[in-house]
Amino acid sequence: MTTKDCALLHKVLEPLPVIRYPFELETLPMNGIYFFYEEGETNAHDGTPGIVRVGTHKRDNFRSRINDHYLLDGMDFDKNSPAPKDRSIFRKNIGRALLNKMNSDYISIWDIDFTLKTNRQRYGRKRDINLEIQIEKEITRILKKKFSFRYIQIDSQKQRMGKQGLESRLIGTLSHCKLCEPSKNWLGRSSPKKQIRDSGLWLIQHLNSEGLDSDDKNLIGRLIRSSIRA
């Protein structure tokens, strides 16, 4: 694996449209892999925007996954229901960085998954809902203002997901690049997660995966051509 693969990946994605807020969910595909970019973050190969997250989804939930990140329908929760960060690890990781930057010890509560009834019953009384709402609103503001994404349409869940799926090798390609690194002001540098700080990616899983092979590169080329025509 070489840094050339990271350079190639950034380059081949350039013909794809860049999606920025506001956008209509109905214009997005039912299935695909998305690539997030963040204002102020560039790749080291040609200085164009750098990928800071790769993600996908189960079944036909591409649109709902994007909605989980951006909260296009707004939010409404209390101590008896999960906050948006419990349905989006992307949001949870941004919130961790914000709280850590504030030197807040609330991270221990933020990390709890309140989609589980047992956790709501056991830890619900420890929640500071006003603080959670404040952090969630800031996450949404940051995502809508600073992030954009591209995507490739890919219908096969097997081809997309898991250790054998394309997602893991895309992430491996980016994380193993020896040239790309985050800017000094990148919010992720405040993350309590070493994997995020070291990789420059809003990711924890698949960072040690193998990179793209020749078959993957050919597949991505076909997918990009197909996505452009769609």
Measured in degrees and rounded to the nearest 5, phi and psi for residue 152 equal -115, 135
| pTM, full prediction | 0.96
Residue 190 has a pLDDT of 98
Select from 55, 57, 59, 48 the least CA-distant residue to 13: 48
Residue 1 has a pLDDT of 56
Kindly give, in sequence order, each residue whose CB lies less than 8 Å from that of residue 11, ignoring residues fewer than 6 positions away: 45, 46
Residue 228 has a pLDDT of 80
Select from 94, 124, 57, 82 the least CA-distant residue to 202: 94
Residue 2 has a pLDDT of 67
CA dihedral 146, 152, 155, 160 (to 10 degrees): -80
Contact 114, 124 (CB under 8 A): yes
Residue 230 has a pLDDT of 65
Residue 162 has a pLDDT of 77
Select from 58, 10, 75 the least CA-distant residue to 37: 10
Residues of the chain with pLDDT under 70: 1-2, 230
Residue 95 has a pLDDT of 98
